[in-house]
Amino acid sequence: MKFLFLLSFILTLGLQNTFAQGFNRETLELAALMEGNFNTKNQSLIDSGYFDIRLHMKRIWPEREDAVWLYVEQSAASSPDKPYRQRIYRLINMEYNLFESAIFELPEPLRFVGEWKSPNAGKSIDPEILIPLEGCAVYLKKVGEQMYCGSTVADNCLTDWRGAKYVSSIVTVLKNGLITWDRGFDENNNYLWGAEKAGYFFERE
């Protein structure tokens, strides 16, 4: 928890002195690492405390120059055609190698299942229907060659799922995959759910 709040504090200070630069080469470099097909099969075989999860991220609307947009689909390996999470991410570059990954929900998301497989991914999605998840953006800092680390800010990402007040997401983006650690906490910052030891390691396929 101390790490989380320290990171949130640093990010908050950085955001006070930045402005959105949007779409540029640096944004494309980050998006290239995030786009692809990933799974946690090896992690689940080593530690039974983790599930085998499939993650697909596909760039959509490449003609847009305001940001890089990604369609995201996540499912259990046992039911790949029944995703439990479908989102749209909007990536923009901010000063000092800081990036914002804003998150949007889709209404009636099951109609878009498998969108990542389409050569024209995103064509069937109207940008006007996106529902922003306020306070749930992940801010990523470039900390090395092809390595980005970041998180949501403090307790801004509100939820009522399984008794939690807010969700904390810590993310690391690497050349060979992503590490994501999503956890729910109550109003007293007590841990309620999510991976206990560390995040899920999604290896690139």
Average pLDDT over residues 34-61: 98
Average pLDDT over residues 88-92: 98
Six token digits for residue 168: 């904390």
Sign, CA dihedral 6-8-14-17, equals negative
In angstroms, the CA 141 to CA 172 distance is 9
Q: What 3-state class would DSSP assign to 43? A: helix
Question: Which CATH number fits the domain 2-204, given the four candidates 3.40.50.620, 2.40.128.590, 2.40.50.140, 3.40.50.1390?
Answer: 2.40.128.590
Six token digits for residue 106: 């889709």
Six token digits for residue 24: 């540029």
Average pLDDT over residues 3-31: 61
Instruction: Give the pLDDT confidence of 127-148 residue by residue, as tens digits.
Output: 999 999 999 999 999 999 999 9
Question: Given a cut of 90, is residue 37 above it in pLDDT?
Answer: yes
Residue-range domain boundaries for the chain: 2-204
Q: pTM for this structure?
A: 0.89
Q: What is the mean pLDDT of the chain?
A: 91
